[in-house]
Structure 1
Amino acid sequence: MTEYQPPGVSSDGPSGDRRGGSGAAYDAVVLAGGAARRLGGADKPGVRVGGRALLDRVLAACADARTTVVVAGPRPTFRPVIWAREEPPGGGPLAALDAGLRHTTAGHVVLLSADLPFLGRRTVEGLLTALRGGTADGVLLTDSDGRDQPLVAAYRTSSLRRELAALTGRHGGLTGLPLRRLTGALRLTRISDPVASFDCDTWDDIATARARIREHGHVLDEWISAVKDELGIDLDVDTGVLLDLARDAAHGVARPAAPLTTFLVGYAAARAGGDREAVAEAARKAAALAVRWADEDDRAGGTAPDAAPETRPDAE
C-alpha cells in the first residue's frame, strides 16, 4: 500500500468542477442508504448544504460517469440515475455495493457515499487518473486524521467483483459484513485530501459545511454552481469576465444596469449557441458598449462635449 499525490488533485468544491479528464468511460456507484442515527434518523442525502441536497452535490461530482447507480430508495434528483436496492434493505455497505455493481459495465468504478459536500469533479478525475496510471486495485482518499475513506474512491470493477464473490463464498452472503473485509483484501493507493473526504455524519458536520461554503473565498463559486444545477445548465464560463462586465455597467451606466446587462448577455449567448465562446463574445460586446457609454458621459460632464447645450437634439 502506497501513498500518492498525483498532480492536479486538489480539494475542490464546485470551482474545480469541469468536464474533461482522460475521457475514458467509468461508472459511479453512490451509497445513499443507512439509518443516519447520528443525525437522529434524518434523511441525510436530502439535507441541504448551500441550497443543494447532499446527494445532488455528489451526483454533480460524478456527472461524467457513463452510468450512475444510487443504492437507496428512489427520490427526485437533479439528473437521471439508476436506482438499486440491496436485499434485504439495510444490509450494509457490501450488500449495497454488490447491488450497485450489478448495473455497471465499465472497467473502473467510482464508489462514493452521499454525504460529501466538498467533493468535486476534479477530485474524481484525480482518483481515476491515479488508478489508470498504476497497478493498484483501487485509489482512495484519506481524511484529516489519515484514516481511509473507502467510500471516496475509484476501483477496478473486476477487483471488486472478485473479492465480493470470495466474501459471499466464505460467509454465505454479504449482509452485515463491514467494508473493511473488502478493502483489506485489495491493493490500495492513498491520496490525502481532508476537504474532499469530509463527510457529514452529525449536525455539527452539517453546520461546518454550511459555514465553509459561505466564506468569502468559496461563496461565489458555490452560488454559481448551485444556480447552474437548479437551472439545468452545464456551462463552464469565465465568471471574472461577467463580474467585470457587471461592474462596468453599474459604474458606467447605473447600478440596476448590472444584473439586467448580464441577463441580456446570457440571452444573447443562448441564441448564439450557448457555449463558453458565445458567452465571452456577448460579454465583450456589452463591456465595450459600457465603456463607450461611460466615455460619452464623461465628455458630457465638461471634458470635451460633442455639442453645445443649445444644439442638442432635445434642447428647447
Structure 2
Amino acid sequence: MTAYDPPGPPQPGAAADPDGAAGTAYDAVVLAGGAARRLGGADKPGVRVGGRALLDRVLAACAGGGTTVVVADPRATARPVVWAREDPPGGGPLAALEAGLSHTTAPDVVVLSADLPFIEETTVRRLVGALGERGCEGVLITDPDGRDQPLVAAYRAAALRRELTALAAEHGGLTGLPLRRLTGALDLTRIADPVASFDCDTWEDIAAARERIREHGHVLDEWISTVKDELGIDLDVDTGTLLDLARDAAHGVARPAAPLTTFLVGYAAARAEGGPEAVAEAARKATALALRWADENAPDAGPDAG
C-alpha cells in the first residue's frame, strides 16, 4: 500500500485541475441508502448544503464519467442516474456496492458516499488519474487523521468484482460485512485530502459544511457552481471578466446597470449559440461601451469623447 501526495488539497469552489484524468473512462457508484442514525433518521442525501442537496453535489462531481449508479430508493435528482438497490435493502455497504457495480461496464469505477459536501470533479479526476498512473487496484482518500475513506475512491472494477465474489462465497453473502473486508484485500494507493474527505454524519458536520461554503475565499465560485447546476448550465466562463464588466457598468453608467448588463451579455452569447468565447466577446463589447459612456461624462470630455 503506497502513499500518493498530490500538489495540494482542492478547496471548495476551486478551478478544475487541467492535469487530471480528462478523457479517462469511468463509471460511478454512489451509495445513498444509509439509515443516517446520527442525524436522527433524517433524509441525509436530501439535506441541503449551499443550496444543493448533498446527493446532487456528489453527482455533480462525477458528471464527467459514463454511467452513474445511485444505490438507494429513487428520488428527484439534478442529473440523470441509474437506480439500484441491494437485496435486502439496508444490507450494508458491500451489498450496496455489489448492486451498483452490476450496472457498470467501465474498467474503472469511482465509489462515493452521498454525504460529501466538498467533493468536486477535480478530485474525481485526480483519483482516476492516479489509478492509471500507479497501476494499483484502487486509490482512496485519507482524512486529516490518516484514516482511509473507501467511499471516496476509484477502483479497478475487475478487482472489486473479484473480491466481492470471494467474500460472498466465504461468508454466504455480503449482508452486514464491513468495507474493510474488501479494501484489506486490494493493492491501494492513498491520497491525503482533508477537504474532499469531509463527510456529514451529524448535524454539527452539516453546520460546519454550511459555514465553510460561505467563507469569503470561495463563496463566489461556490455560488456560481451551484447556480449553473440548478439551471442545467455546463459552461465555464471567466467570472473575473464578468465582474470587471459589472464594475465598469456600475461606475460608468449607474449601479443597476451592472446586473442588467451582465444578463444581456449572457443572453447575447446564448443567442449566438456560443460557449465561453461568445461570452467573452459579448463582455468585451459591453465593457468598451460602458467605458465610452463613462468618458462622455468626464469633466474634461471634449466634443469627440468616446
Q: If the length of structure 1 is used for normalisation, what is the TM-score?
A: 0.93
Matches of 2:23 and 2:180 in 1, distance apart? Answer: 31
Matches of 1:291 and 1:92 in 2, distance apart? Answer: 62
Contact in 1 for aligned 2:24/2:128 (Cα 8 Å): no
One-letter amino acid matched to 2:12:
G
Matching of residues 61-76 of structure 1 within 5 Å: 61-76=61-76
Deviations 1:56-80 (A, max 9, x none): 0000000011000000000000010
One-letter amino acid matched to 2:13:
P
SS of match in other structure, 1:112: strand
Deviations 1:15-68 (A, max 9, x none): 334797330210000000110000000000000000000000000000011000
Over 3 Å counting, the alpha-carbon distance change for 1:198 and 1:273 in structure 2 is same
**What is the match of residue 143 of structure 1?**
143
Matches of 1:176 and 1:64 in 2, distance apart? Answer: 32
SS of match in other structure, 2:153: strand
Runs of 5+ unmatched residues, structure 2: none
One-letter amino acid matched to 2:32:
A
SS of match in other structure, 1:15: coil
**What is the match of residue 156 of structure 1?**
156
Deviation for aligned residue 1:143: 0.4
Contact in 2 for aligned 1:141/1:192 (Cα 8 Å): yes
Contact in 2 for aligned 1:12/1:120 (Cα 8 Å): no
Deviation for aligned residue 1:86: 0.2
Deviation for aligned residue 1:229: 0.7
Deviations 1:224-243 (A, max 9, x none): 01110111001111000000
Matches of 1:166 and 1:281 in 2, distance apart? Answer: 58
Q: Point out the structure with max Rg over C-alpha.
A: 1
Matches of 1:71 and 1:261 in 2, distance apart? Answer: 44
Matching of residue 226 in structure 1 with residue 226 in structure 2: yes
Deviation for aligned residue 1:5: 1.5
Over 3 Å counting, the alpha-carbon distance change for 1:296 and 1:244 in structure 2 is same
**What is the match of residue 275 of structure 2?**
275
Matching of residues 64-213 of structure 1 within 5 Å: 64-213=64-213
Contact in 1 for aligned 2:295/2:301 (Cα 8 Å): no
Moved over 6 A (4+): none
Matching of residue 14 in structure 1 with residue 13 in structure 2: yes
Matching of residue 304 in structure 1 with residue 297 in structure 2: no
Deviations 1:166-204 (A, max 9, x none): 001101100000000000000110000000110000000
One-letter amino acid matched to 1:139:
V
Contact in 2 for aligned 1:2/1:188 (Cα 8 Å): yes
Matches of 1:18 and 1:60 in 2, distance apart? Answer: 16
% identity of equivalent residues: 77
Contact in 1 for aligned 2:140/2:149 (Cα 8 Å): yes
Matching of residue 235 in structure 1 with residue 235 in structure 2: yes
Q: If the length of structure 2 is used for normalisation, what is the TM-score?
A: 0.96
Contact in 2 for aligned 1:12/1:123 (Cα 8 Å): no
Runs of 5+ unmatched residues, structure 1: 308-316
Q: How many residues align?
A: 303
Deviation for aligned residue 1:13: 2.4
**What is the match of residue 263 of structure 1?**
263
One-letter amino acid matched to 2:123:
T
Matches of 1:264 and 1:292 in 2, distance apart? Answer: 18
